[in-house]
Structure 1
Amino acid sequence: MTTKNYHELLKDRIYIGGADDIHDVMKNEKVDVAYDLRAEAPKEESPYNRVHSPIVDDADQQDVSVKKSIDHVVNGYNEGKNVYFHCQGGSNRTGTVAIGTLLALGKAKTIEEAEGIAKTARPKINVKPEMKETLKRIYPNV
């Protein structure tokens, strides 16, 4: 039995993890598109349908890039695609987009509830305070 280092955020549809998990998730799951959230992502060609949707780690005011990444994932999901998204380690940026995705899809009513769902799916998620502030600005009514 192989150990999977990536996780399902939404069963059989949305997967999350780190950069090193891309080959496993693409081999094991029917993923149509992978969103790479790393600002430091390599520029070389990918054998997968990879979309670079960069979020800068440890930077203030990431509202536009975070919202764009969430929109990518939600649009892919709504188009019936199976989606994988990742940053380098799969904890901060991935967690931020996971929380936003759950809110955007109506799977959670608050940031705290969405974070709980995301951490249940991937326990290593650890969203930094500046990213939580970004989510509060993007979703002011939750």
Structure 2
Amino acid sequence: MEKTYQALVDDKIFFGGAADVEAMIKNENVEVVVDLRGEAKESAYPTDGVKWLHVPLGDNADSPQGQLFQQAINHVVEAYKSGKKVGFHCGGGKGRTGAVAIGTLIALGKSENIEDAEKLAKSIRPVVSIRQPQREALEKLFNN
């Protein structure tokens, strides 16, 4: 079966859609799952031994959700820096997931700016496609 999720950083940070969570846990031994779905009521794959962190980002939010994006990026970075394997996802793994991937790459020093991080994220996961409010949230967080 073809993998439909990707490794963003080393083999420690993985990203994809909700349908990929089970495979991330079973194949990659992901220990922390950051769920970006505002619509979620529970983990996409509830299981013992995996920490589920819910950051409720709206998929079609009209306003930038900067604080929530910062929170999601922080969860991913903190899990990574503590030596845990972490996966993050939204519904389809394109918009919210793409924005958090871009922010994570910048926060970890893998990219210097949003444009470079977006190119890198798209080279890893071509379906990444962030919406304007998501871009605005990233600009507020990283264009200082």
1:55 aligns with 2:54: no
Equivalence map 1:66-85=2 (5 Å): 66-85=69-88
Corresponding residue number in structure 2 for 1:116: 119
Alpha-carbon RMSD across the aligned residues, in angstroms, is 1.3
CA distance, structure 2, for counterparts of residue 42 and residue 121 of structure 1: 29
CA distance, structure 1, for counterparts of residue 23 and residue 134 of structure 2: 28
What is the CA-CA distance between 1:105 and the residue it aligns to?
0.5
The corresponding residue for 1:125 is: 128
Q: Which consecutive residues of structure 1, in runs of 5 or more, have no partner in the other structure?
A: none
TM-score (norm 2): 0.93
Distance 2:134 2:64 in 1: 9
Structure 2: 5+ residue stretches without partners: none
Deviations 1:4-45 (A, max 9, x none): 011110121100000011111111002110110000013378
* Offset from partner CA, 1:70-102 (integer Å, 9 cap, x none): 011011111111110000000000000000000
Structure 1 runs (4+) deviating above 6 angstroms are none
Task: Percent identity, please.
Answer: 44
CA distance in 2, matches of 1:33, 1:12: 14
* Deviation for aligned residue 1:136: 0.4
**Take 1:100 and 1:17, find their aligned partners in 2: how far apart are those partners?**
15
**Paired AA for residue 13 in structure 1:** K
What residue number does 1:42 align with?
41
Moved more, 84-93 or 29-38: 29-38
